[in-house]
Amino acid sequence: MREIVETLLLTILIFWAVNAATGRFKIDGSSMEPNLHNGQYIIINKLVYQLKDPERGDIVVFQYPNDPSRDFIKRVIGVPGDQVRIEQGRIFINGTYVSEPYIDQLGAYSGTWNLEKDDFFVLGDNRNNSSDSHNWGILPRDNLIGRAWVIYWPFEDWGIVPHHALSEYKFAFQASEN
C-alpha cells in the first residue's frame, strides 16, 4: 500500500511541476501565418521570462490587454526603451530598418510607438490579418505568459517554434547600413 501512495504522490508532484513550467496553447486563426497555422497546438515555456527578458523575434503567448480572459500569440518586435516606427509596413527600431525574412507581406499601416519600462510591441507575422500592437497598443510585461517552444500537433508539423534571435537582427541592422 505504501508503494502505491508514494507512486501516486510522485505522479502528482511531477504533473504539478510540468504544468507550472509549461503550458499548452492552440493557434486560433491565421495571424501568425506563414510560420504557425490555425489548429496547431504548441507547448509554451512559462518560466523563461522569470530568468531572462523577452528578446526581439521571440514568439510569445500573452493575455490580450483589452480582455485578459483571452490569450494571444504574436512576435516581439520592440522591447523596453525602443522606438518602433512603421512606414508603409517597413519596421524601424530606433531609426534602423529591420529585415523580416519570416513574413510574406508587409503591413498596410504606419505609426510610431515609444516603449517605456516593461512595455513590448508585438505583431502577428500575417501583418494585414492580425490584431496586435499596431491597432491596440503596447503589451505590458505583466501580460506575458510564456515563450512558444514546440509545435506538437498535428504530428506532421512537429518541431521547434521558429524564433529569430537578436543576433539576426544585428545582422539585418548592419546589412541595411551598407
Whether the Cβ atoms of residue 149 and residue 160 lie closer than 8 Å to each other = yes
Whether the Cβ atoms of residue 8 and residue 18 lie closer than 8 Å to each other = no
- Spatial separation of the C-alpha atoms in residues 88 and 92, rounded to whole Å: 11
Annotated catalytic sites, by residue? 31, 74
- Spatial separation of the C-alpha atoms in residues 176 and 117, rounded to whole Å: 27
* Residue 16 exposure: Cα atoms within 13 Å on the Cβ side: 6
Specify which residues 146 forms β-bridges with.
Answer: 61
Indicate the DSSP class of residue 138: P
